Amino acid sequence: MDNPQQLGYMGAPPPPFNDPAGLDGAVYAGGGAGPAPMPPPGHTWSTYPHPAAAVQHHWPPFPPFDPSRPPPGSFEPPQHSENPPPPWSQNQWRPPEHHFTRQAPPNQHQFPDAASPSYPSSAGLELYTPNRQNYPFNSQSMNRPWLDGQRTQSKPISITASDEESMQRSRDEQWIRSVLLKRRNQSTEPKHTESKASTSEFREKLYGTVQMLSELNMVCRMLEDHLENEDAWTESLSKATELKNRIQESLTDLKDPDCVRGIKRKLLRVNKKRARMRRRKMEQQEEKQEQEARRAEREAEVDKWQLKRIQEVEEKNREKELKLAADAVLSEVRKKQADAKRMLDILKSLEKLRKLRKEAAARKGMFPGKESDERFEGHLERLRSLIRKRTAVYATEEKALRVMLEGEQEEERKRDREKRLKKEKEKLLQKKREVDTMLFGAELPPDHPLRLFLDYYTQAEHSLPALIQIRREWDQFLVSDKHPDGTSVPQGWVLPDQPADDIWATALEK
């Protein structure tokens, strides 16, 4: 039976109800005078007068209570899943037929010639009646199967949309509770996390295992050596057994797949990080080298421009100094030339003065003699010729001094040019030494073991016979210009070009 309370059945028909409506209201609506009290044990009931339209129930003998017998109806355990139950559509719910019909359930005994008793279900089904709307079955209604039977016979059963919504809501709540309970059980389960052994511990354990293995080999050799000495052999055997057990324990930990997998992941992560750090360091070094190269180029351009400006200023200063030196040397000659020119001007002034005096005397009627005029002209001519000779001598002296000054200036310019060429040559030699260092390494000291090989390969630079011999050996490979396989010997060292690929450039070192 659905109800755990066992009803005492005396084999008599149900008691009469004088006020079914009041009882129904008391049971389901909470009004009225309340349900009638239960009769005492052994009480017999009078015959219940059924209405004319209703069918008379014949109550069969109630079977004895059997705890092993399952309750009427099919009670399957609810199957909970993660998916919500399907929604209930209109008029989809159908109550079990054996609750409202005279057919017996599969597990119910058949009673011949009698109608099977109607047992209320414990599923909490909601029936719609005029006096009991959406009221679930409870213990009071379940204790009165005859009342439910009469009402199901007298009143039609109908299910509304509100009933379906309430059923669907109850099913949804039940499904949600089951899912939450399942997740709570899953969350409370202890999570088996893999052992996070560090790389250092794994390395120490591995090294310790290798050390124990070497000790075990030594003990095995001791066992071979102490075959005749039983005490020493027994002691060595116990030590070997202990080492073997310890090695097996260590190997068990070292061969753990999860541990090995974790160590491999850590090592791979560390290697990737180190490779990334190396790449970043190389990129920083390359960027620094590029910045230094650009800075060196800018500094070289600035130095070149500054040197050019300095040379221009020095040239101007040198010209000024040479001009001042030339003026200082030619000042005496120019002074003498100025004196000669002044004397010529004086002679011209004297000649003009004599002419003016002669004209003044002629107006007074005084005329000088012809001899005095000739004498005066002779003196003037003599002085002019002397001054011309002096002027020619001064001009020759000035020319000689100018030639001498120009020679000195040219020598000064030549010395400056030689200095510049010497500086450029030193730069070229420095560059050549750098190229030689790049090609053949740094210059070897005198006491270096490879100094003899260097002297052998550079003997043509210090010995003329060696140069002739080496040149003769090279000359035997000379061919004509029209030879198809002939190539010219390069004038200098053949240096590699700049790398065309960035990947190849990363492998080069300065």
Dist CA 103 CA 118 (whole Å): 10
Look up residue 481 and give its DSSP letter.
T
Task: Convert the pLDDT of each residue in 276-317 to its tens digit.
Answer: 999 999 999 999 999 999 999 999 899 989 988 998 898 888
The overall average pLDDT reported for the chain is 73
SS3 112: coil
Whose structure tokens read 């002297």? 455
Instruction: Provide the total of helices (H) and of strands (E) in the chain, helices listed first.
Output: 12, 2
pTM of the model as a whole: 0.31
Evaluate if residue 148 carries a pLDDT over 70.
no
**How much of the chain exceeds pLDDT 70, in percent?**
66
User: Cα-flanking dihedrals φ and ψ of residue 328, to 5°?
Assistant: -65, -40
Residue ranges of alpha helices (H) inside 143-229 are 145-154, 161-188, 199-225
pLDDT at 410 over 60: yes
Q: Domain map of the chain by residue range? A: 20-188, 199-255, 261-440, 444-475
pLDDT digits (tens, 9 = 90+) for 99-144: 444 444 444 444 444 444 444 444 444 444 444 444 444 444 444 5
CB atoms under 10 Å from CB of 257, counted, come to 8
Position 490, amino acid: P
Q: Under DSSP, is residue 261 helix (H, G, I), strand (E, B) or coil?
A: helix
* pLDDT for 50: 54
Sole residue written with tokens 């500086």: 423
**Tens of pLDDT along 309-341?**
998 898 888 788 877 877 777 777 888 888 888
Task: Evaluate if residue 429 carries a pLDDT over 70.
Answer: yes
Give mean pLDDT, residues 482-495. Answer: 78
DSSP codes, 341-393: HHHHHHHHHHHHHHHHHHHHHHHTT----HHHHHHHHHHHHHHHHHHHHHHHH
Q: Are the beta carbons of 166 and 134 closer than 8 angstroms?
A: yes
**What pLDDT was estimated at residue 196?**
58
Three-state DSSP string of 33-59 = CCCCCCCCCCCCCCCCCCCCCCCCCCC
Do residues 363 and 407 touch, judged by C-beta distance below 8 A? no
Query: Nearest CA to 107 among 72, 75, 77, 64?
Result: 72
